[in-house]
Structure 1
Amino acid sequence: MRAGTGSRRRCRAAARRGLLRDSRRHQGRSGCPYGSRVVHRPGRRTFHILLGEQALYTHLGGPEVMRHQLRRLQDATYLPGLSLGIIPACARLLFHPGGGFSIFDDSRVEVEGYRGAETIADQGRAGVFRKAFGLLQPSGVYAQAARDLITSALAVS
């Protein structure tokens, strides 16, 4: 999350890449992963993350890496600055999730794609993504229901 950003909403349909970075190259001076450092500061910033259930089964880096990422994701569901929603594969969707995007402070959107990221600052265009997130959010499950989906993915990874 960029410095000065107070809230972030993120939607990813099929991959977890970069959600709560934990590799050594992303560690800050304190040794704590960047994503964890930011989320562990209660009252400072808020993350609202939506993942499609498929993201829990998308293997990037092999089984050991997958299990580690799923355990980290499960632990993250207890963080006070994070609302993690998982959209079950059988959920009724009011809107197609499309590609991944992040909304910063309701004013700037970063859309991820194969050609790179596009930054959108135009409020009319950003409004489309705010609306999309709002329509997708109720399809997600949270807290224990999200942990149960992660546990199911761990059982087969």
Structure 2
Amino acid sequence: RETAGLAQIPAAEAAGTSQAGLSRFERGRSLPSPELVRTLAGVYGATAAETARLVELAEAIRPEHLNSRVIMQRGLNHFQQRLATIEASSRLVRSFHPAAILGTLQTRAFVTHVFGRAGGDLDDNAKSTATRIGAQSLLDDLDRQWVLIQTEGALDWCYGSAAIMAEQLDHMVEVSRRPNVTLGIIPHRTPATVQPLHGFHIFDERAVHFGTTSGAALIGDQADIEEYVAKFNLLAELAVYGDQARELLTRIADEYRQST
């Protein structure tokens, strides 16, 4: 809008929305529909490619609850690509999971095992693997930040095999050394003031994604997002970081190696 030289009021009038609504969109307090994004792009004189990209993001980030059967019917890769689009548009990603290794941290062997046991079409599973691994290239962009929190219990869960887990934890040690990644581990028996029932991902402060056994959800309500941010901050206070986290990861990786 500023590049187009438009103030909020005339821009809102041209797009058929309110100035207050446009202000909320620009401050990340609410999400515009794909249709409004297309209209605003036209008002601002965006190129066709810019418009297509903005509409794609608006469609990806729209609030939605999806049943697992719906996800499988559409294809796992369809949903993986949607999440990758949201992550690619974010400067700060905060993720927590109490029981599973976060996708951003997963090795190819781990990801292959995840989607290899997902059921459904084999080609779609292979594409899902490629999409998840491909999204990890965003870690090379030092202008982006990740804060990733795992429980020690997630590390102890031997998913796939001891060999897969040993490699996985070694990889997490290396990722933790990246300057734009903060990796925290919540040790066993750490006194806690919060009981998270599922993992979740916060994209900037625009959207939250979480999955359960029966489905997945993307939420954009600001009050809900603020609740997840507050919960994440409490969890982050419980974690150890840096050398302490790496020592814990290395110890568990060595235990896996000894069991093979």
TM-score when normalising by structure 2: 0.55
Alignment partner of 1:67: what SS? helix
Give the match for residue 129 of structure 1. Answer: 228
CA distance in 2, matches of 1:90, 1:35: 33
Give the match for residue 194 of structure 2. Answer: 95
AA aligned opposite 2:239: G
Q: Is the 8 A contact 2:149 2:186 kept in 1?
A: yes
Structure 2 gap segments, 5+ residues each: 1-83, 113-125
Q: Is the 8 A contact 1:10 1:50 kept in 2?
A: yes
Give the match for residue 105 of structure 2. Answer: 20
Give the match for residue 246 of structure 2. Answer: 147
CA distance in 1, matches of 2:136, 2:157: 22
Q: Is the 8 A contact 1:10 1:103 kept in 2?
A: yes
Q: Once superposed, which parts of structure 1, at least 4 consecutive aligned residues long, lie more than 3 Å away? A: 24-28
1:70 paired with 2:169, answer: yes
Offset, 1:127: 1.3
1:34 paired with 2:134, answer: yes
Offset, 1:36: 3.9
1:35–1:90 distance in 2 versus 1, CA, 3 Å? farther
Specify which structure has the higher proportion of helix: 2
CA distance in 2, matches of 1:61, 1:85: 23
CA distance in 1, matches of 2:219, 2:136: 26
CA distance in 1, matches of 2:250, 2:106: 20
Alignment partner of 1:109: what SS? strand
Identity of aligned residues (%): 27
Structure 1 gap segments, 5+ residues each: none
Offset, 1:115: 1.3
Q: 2:204 aligns with which of 96, 105, 112?
A: 105
Q: Is the 8 A contact 2:88 2:138 kept in 1?
A: no
CA distance in 2, matches of 1:112, 1:18: 12
Q: How many residues align?
A: 152
1:62–1:17 distance in 2 versus 1, CA, 3 Å? farther
Offset, 1:126: 1.3
Q: Which has the higher contact order (CA 8 A, sep 6+)?
A: 1
CA distance in 2, matches of 1:21, 1:142: 19
AA aligned opposite 1:133: F
CA distance in 1, matches of 2:134, 2:190: 32
Give the match for residue 146 of structure 2. Answer: 47
Offset, 1:148: 0.9
Give the match for residue 9 of structure 1. Answer: 94
CA distance in 1, matches of 2:226, 2:134: 28
